[in-house]
Amino acid sequence: MSTLGIMQPYFMPYIGYWQLIESVDKFILYGNVAFEKKSWVSRNRIINKKGDIVNIIIPLRHKSCNKLISEIIIDNSLNWNSKLLKTIRTEYGGALFFEETFSLIEPLLNTRYETLMQLNCTTISQIAKYLDINTVVDCDNSRFVDMEEVLQCDEVDYSQLRYLGDAEPDRKTARVIEMCKRENASRYVNAIGGKALYKKEEFLKNGIELFFIETRAIDYQQFAKSFTPNLSIIDVLMHNGKEGTKDLLKLYGLI
């Protein structure tokens, strides 16, 4: 029984994203969908020593909602690598696991990437390995181009998809079911926000069990007295280290 997860490639995502990766056998970082400005694909949040939120953002060239995530180019003329690393060093210099964490992320962020997809796929894959997550992280979207050509038509002809046949779910559901079928997955795990989008009955009709991942209460010591949840994995690692973060990864359930 193979379990699949699919998500857009986020930039240094929050811990729930990593729990989703850990919960499946294969995790597809999917960039064949429209880029959305101010999404978690190109930005995230950390916190400074005063407890204030600091936004970390990757500068982009010609960003447009008419482009796919996989087509978005990074603006490397702005020297974002060194600026971002300086920010991280400044805000987390006194963190308990600063040296351990900075030695991980410095080479990842100090590399030249042409596309946002390359940056996010590389950082997600390498941090997953660092956390001893054994899931296969798959960044190759080329085998789904034909599927997207069908789904992006004004009127979708579902008969052109390999596995849906006479079924005609909404496009988002059709995409996930078709991908599960192509990957021989009998279980699909989605982020908890997907409860508003996907119906278990629709998936079961196609022989797929649908689950949603629910993160349990997570709290740890940050610089400020009050805890700020759902920050970038950078914050989690800085204050918990590798082993502590691995313990936090276990705090979830499937519903």
Per-residue DSSP letters for the chain?
A: --EEEEE---SS--HHHHHHHHTSSEEEE--SSB--TTSTTSEEEEE-TTS-EEEEE--EES--TTSBGGGPEE-GGG-HHHHHHHHHHHHHTT-TTHHHHHHHHHHHHTS--SBHHHHHHHHHHHHHHHTT---EEE---GGGHHHHHHHTSSS--GGGSTTTTT----HHHHHHHHHHHHTT-SEEEEEGGGGGT--HHHHHTTT-EEEEEEEPP-----SSSS---S--HHHHHHHHHHHHHHHHHT-EEE-
Domain coverage including residue 217: 3-254
pTM of the complete model: 0.95
Average pLDDT of the residues of the chain: 95
The model's pLDDT over 30-44, given as tens digits with 9 standing for 90+, comes to: 999 999 988 999 999
pLDDT, average across residues 204-219: 95
Reply yes or no on whether the pLDDT at 159 is more than 70: yes
